[in-house]
DNA sequence: TCTCCTAATTGATCCATATCAATTAATTTC
DNA sequence: GAAATTAATTGATATGGATCAATTAGGAGA
């Protein structure tokens, strides 16, 4: 598809969107009003319809996205043609092809909207300028990646330590209410189990 | 144990050690000589004997470690008393309890020397001072975490996509020569499979 | 060099979950 | 709102890898 992406929002929406990202920034670093304005000025507003792609393999990656409203999934296809969900992104998450973004390369993943979504995007070149003028944002992104790193590590260890049922419960808890927003077969995929198995686990949970 | 840790090295060793970290820094950012001196001045030299612990659960984490020479393993114990290896650290890797370090908390993991090892350590408070005086190091650590994040993501996807044999081969390739430095049951643990299963996989590889 | 202890291997069995197949339920779409 | 798709569930079977048990191989220490 890749249709359905529209830049520029109404004044009201822009205010809401900036409010959302500024809150997020303030939660992580102590930025001055000047810093925030500088940062806000390089952001673009993006809306995307359910089912549309924000990113597809082969595309040159120049942007990362912040989810103001909505839900997306990031996945890739392996050599055998199997899909693997890397991440779901909901409100107040950054999403993108990190690898390609930092290495200024070509995407190897799909990012697809699971719901109609509102996003903010930042371009690599503009972000680097922000880093120069307001190095505090270097810290912001370092903290974000560190947090993501830690939560990802938990995902690895959880997969080794826990059975499917425990992991499904953990998933629903940490991604609050997500089981009502995305398909079960996508959750199964994310957890690395078959949809049939997840279905049976969900049955058992209903009973107990 | 926690014995066997000795700070301060001979002049020759210190030079070697700083050479090692400076090379690593230069590979990631363009730091001035001043920046490097500033950074080097806050590093401590640490040696640790095989079998000794660099870190144990409950200890207050104030340091991260850079491996100049040697090999270590980071692991934790889950509620059921099972050990899970998080990471092996060899030359030119940073190792520590990231989570606790960034949140100034208490360690939940063990870091144990697999070989006699030489390390450099940096304290949280001193690192923050470096960040203030030379913000370029904020970038250095952001890049390191980003790289670690990306390689960790590959570990997750590899576990979903590939079978034990493929993952063992991948592991040996990416951690060059590691299969001769650490025990097979620790590699099995890291891969999340039983030692017996890994043993059989290794047999099959010998034949084919 | 011998002894002891730990690691690795090998065999047999078991189990969680994948896979295949069919049915039912829930969404889209016109 | 009926038809057509797509998702979820349920049942039956197959399988990769775990677990248990026993043996062999390697290393460290006396």
From chain A, the residues in CB contact with B138 under 8 A are 135, 138-139, 142
Give me the mean pLDDT over the B74-100 stretch. 92
Residues B150 and A98 sit within 8 Å (Cβ to Cβ): yes
| Range ranked top by mean pLDDT from A1-5, B88-92, B152-156 | B88-92
From chain B, the residues in CB contact with A98 under 8 A are 146, 149-150
Measured distance CA(A61)–CA(A105) in Å, rounded: 6
Report the residue count for chain B.
Answer: 208
Residue-wise pLDDT tens digits, B32-63: 999 999 999 999 999 999 999 999 999 999 99
Given pLDDT bands bounded at 50, 70 and 90, which one contains residue B3?
very low
Quote the mean pLDDT of chain B: 89
Instruction: Flag whether the pTM goes above 0.85.
Output: yes
What 8-state DSSP symbol labels residue A108? -
A126 touches strand D (CB under 7 A): no
Residues 124-183 of B with CB under 7 A from strand D: 163-164
Residues 165-184 of B with CB under 7 A from strand C: 183-184
pLDDT at position B9, please?
A: 46
Residues 133-192 of A with CB under 7 A from strand D: 183-185
Q: Do A145 and B149 touch (CB under 8 A)?
A: yes
Q: Which of B182, B188, B190 is nearest to B201 (CA)?
A: B188
Rounded, the Å distance between the CA of A198 and C1' of D10 is 13
Question: Residue B2 pLDDT more than 50?
Answer: no
pLDDT at position B207, please?
A: 66
Residues B162 and B169 sit within 8 Å (Cβ to Cβ): no
Q: Which of A82, A80, A93, A57 is nearest to A175 (CA)?
A: A93
Q: How many CB atoms lie within 10 A of CB B23?
A: 10
As to burial, measured by CB atoms within 10 angstroms (0-12 exposed, 13-18 middle, 19+ buried), residue B168 is buried
A50 touches strand D (CB under 7 A): no
* % pLDDT > 90, chain A: 75
pLDDT at position B72, please?
A: 96
Q: Which of B99, B171, B119 is nearest to B14 (CA)?
A: B119
Q: Across the interface, which of A138, A155, A156 has its CB nearest the CB of B142?
A: A138
Residues A54 and A109 sit within 8 Å (Cβ to Cβ): no
Chain B interface includes A135 (CB < 8 A): yes
Long-range contacts of B192-198 (CB under 8 A, 24+ apart): B192/A159, B192/A160, B192/B159, B193/B164, B197/B164, B198/B164, B198/B168
Measured distance CA(B192)–CA(B84) in Å, rounded: 8
Q: Which residue has the higher pLDDT, B170 or B10?
A: B170
Question: Residue B8 pLDDT more than 60?
Answer: no
Question: Residue A85 pLDDT more than 50?
Answer: yes
Rounded, the Å distance between the CA of B198 and C1' of C8 is 10
Q: Copy the structure tokens of residue A192.
A: 């690395």
From chain B, the residues in CB contact with A138 under 8 A are 135, 138-139, 142
Q: Across the interface, which of A102, A156, A192 has its CB nearest the CB of B152?
A: A156
pLDDT at position B195, please?
A: 96
Question: Residue A177 pLDDT more than 50?
Answer: yes
Residue-wise pLDDT tens digits, A44-82: 999 999 999 999 999 999 999 999 999 999 999 988 888
Measured distance CA(B174)–CA(B187) in Å, rounded: 13
Q: Across the interface, which of B80, B138, B153 has its CB nearest the CB of A152?
A: B153
Question: Residue A197 pLDDT more than 80?
Answer: yes
Given pLDDT bands bounded at 50, 70 and 90, which one contains residue A13?
low
Structural domains of chain A in order of their starting residue, each with its CATH number: 5-127 (2.60.120.10)
Beta-carbon contacts of A171 under 8 Å, excluding residues fewer than 6 positions away, are A178, A187, A190, A191
Residue of chain A nearest B143, judged by CA positions: A142
Q: Do A86 and B153 touch (CB under 8 A)?
A: yes
pLDDT at position B40, please?
A: 95
From chain A, the residues in CB contact with B156 under 8 A are 152, 155-156, 159
Quote the mean pLDDT of chain A: 90
Q: Which of residues 23-52 of B touch A (CB under 8 A)?
A: none
Helices (H), B73-123: 98-102
Residues A164 and A154 sit within 8 Å (Cβ to Cβ): no
Give the SS3 label for residue A181: coil
Residue-wise pLDDT tens digits, B105-141: 999 999 999 999 999 999 999 999 999 999 999 999 9
């Amino acid at each position: 598809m890749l249709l359905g992406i529209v830049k520029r929002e109404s004044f009201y929406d822009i205010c809401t969107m900036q409010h959302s990202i500024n809150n997020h920034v303030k939660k992580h670093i102590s930025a001055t009003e000047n810093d925030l304005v500088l940062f806000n000025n390089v952001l673009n507003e993006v809306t995307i319809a359910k089912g549309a792609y924000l990113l597809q393999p082969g595309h040159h990656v120049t942007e990362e996205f912040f989810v103001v409203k909505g839900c997306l999934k990031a996945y890739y296809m392996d050599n055998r043609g199997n899909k693997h969900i890397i991440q779901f992104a909901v409100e107040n998450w950054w999403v993108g092809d990190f690898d390609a973004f930092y290495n200024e390369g070509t995407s190897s993943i799909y990012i697809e909207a699971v719901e109609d979504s509102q996003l903010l995007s930042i371009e690599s070149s503009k972000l680097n300028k922000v880093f120069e003028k307001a190095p505090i944002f270097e810290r912001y992104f370092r903290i974000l990646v560190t947090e993501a790193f830690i939560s990802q590590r938990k995902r690895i260890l959880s997969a080794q330590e826990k059975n499917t049922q425990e992991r499904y419960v953990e998933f629903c808890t940490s991604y609050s209410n997500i089981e009502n927003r995305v398909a079960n077969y996508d959750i199964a995929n994310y957890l690395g189990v078959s949809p049939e198995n997840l279905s049976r686990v969900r049955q058992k949970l209903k009973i107990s």
